[in-house]
A and B are shown apart, each in its own frame.
Chain A
Amino acid sequence: MNEILTCLLVVGLIGLIAGILLVLASHFMMVREDETVGRLRECLPGANCGACGFTGCDGYARALGEGKAEPNLCIPGGNETARQIGEILGLQVEAVEAKIAVVHCNGTCTASPARAQYDGMESCRAVAMLFGGPGACRYGCLGCGDCAAVCPTGAICMADGVARIDSRICIGCKKCVETCPKEIISLVPRSGKSVVLCSSRDPGAAARKACANACIGCRKCERSCPEGAVSVAGNLAVIDYARCSGCGLCAEGCPTGCLKAADFSLAGAV
């Protein structure tokens, strides 16, 4: 009993002395922090997603305070955050282009049947290393959900063998884009009105054989677009969102339905 008491006393005393010392030190040697950094930090959403390119919201706030960062880099915060930051720093802020991630694949279980049975670690990275995955299409979604695992907001779910991103929840942090071993996820502007849901670069016949929803590179969309925003390169349609007017003609004409009309501004996953 006695020993326990001495033990408690000695350790407690050392802890107390250390604590008092720290309190005194922090009181007497306080350095006034730059207040703007604290205020900037409060405007940021605190998701620590790293989309701005800094180590987190704290890092971004510090960089803003030192004038080393643009005020419109916070993608989850969007225009509102950029405006608040601009007010604090007294800067004119260009509007943030809100972006969301889109999985460029629609190779569902029925559209693109597997050519082999995979029985191993449930991770896209592992699957991709084994002959590029068991699917008939070499380019498509592997469906193991690595992207869903890294998504900080839980916007991605796996449905019918393909990753689906809920555009209402997606904050455009780019984490899934970096994770996907097939590189089929990309960021598109929220104002975009159509998306290409395919990443296959196989020639038309081969792509079609592998997946009923594949882009076959028929160039119909390219011809139908009045703005010249859609182009087919390497057997795959690509939309230039800077030129897209959102008329939807390309989606109407698409024979396989890989080019779809979309509305990211409102509810509904693609």
Chain B
Amino acid sequence: MDGFKNIIMIIMSSVLVNNYVLSRFLGICPFLGVSKKLNQAAGMGVAVIFVMLMATAVTWPIQIYVLDRAGLGYMQTIVFILVIAALVQFTEITLKKFLPALHKSLGVYLPLITTNCAVLGVTINNMTDGYGFFESMASSLGCGLGFMLAMVLFSGIRSKIQESEIPTPFRGLPVTLIAASFVSLAFFGFAGVVDHLFA
């Protein structure tokens, strides 16, 4: 039961408290780039969840059974980049062959994720936090969900922004960044919630 509670806590904290976009500021590029429309934002979110889970499932064994055994912990970043890039490409080829429908809906976003810092960040943070395999997977799922939550929330805000009258100097990117900072500020309200919830 304790393990289950732990998993839930990891997911909750990575969705709300340590949200990758809004409090760790990773993956800002797709957050600003693909959040114009709700369906695109949701598509990108699903793709990120998928890749984060895949990447963690592969990088965790590589870190524990290859890098740590050989005493090469410091090569983590380079090896992870290599593995994630290859993995995303492989996934794309596989999806194209066997699940063309899914490939079409994820298609545009998968190559974008290849060099996404949020994905690399999740895999590296899992190692730094010393998570076991299942904890790592839970954390990745949580981070992916958190990313999707941020994307979907923000796409709603952006569609509101588009309809409103904004002073000329703020139009476009400036107002988007200001709005993003407010959303990020709002998420700081969650700090401490999870610790007390499961205390």
Contacts and interface: CB of A to CB of B under 8 A. Distances in A.
B8 interface: no
Contacts of B66: 10, 14
Given A10-B72, A14-B66, A29 B96 contact: yes
A129 B96 CA distance: 49
A18 B168 contact: no
Interface residues of B, number: 23
B82 A25 contact: no
A38 interface: no
Contacts of A18: 82-83, 86-87
Interface string A1-32: 00100110011001100110110011001110
Interface string A36-54: 0000000000000000000
The interface residues of chain A, by DSSP majority, are classed as helix
A22 B97 contact: no
Interface of B: 62, 66-67, 70-72, 75, 78-79, 82-83, 86-87, 89-90, 93-94, 96-98, 100, 168-169
Contacts of A19: 86
Contact of B169 (A3, A14, A21, A129): A129
Contact of B94 (A10, A14, A29): A29
Contact of A7 (B72, B87, B89, B169): B72
Contacts of A14: 62, 66, 79, 82-83
A26 B97 CA distance: 10
Contacts of A11: 72, 75, 78-79, 82
Contacts of B75: 7, 10-11
Contacts of A31: 96-97, 100
Contacts of A10: 66-67, 70, 72, 75, 79
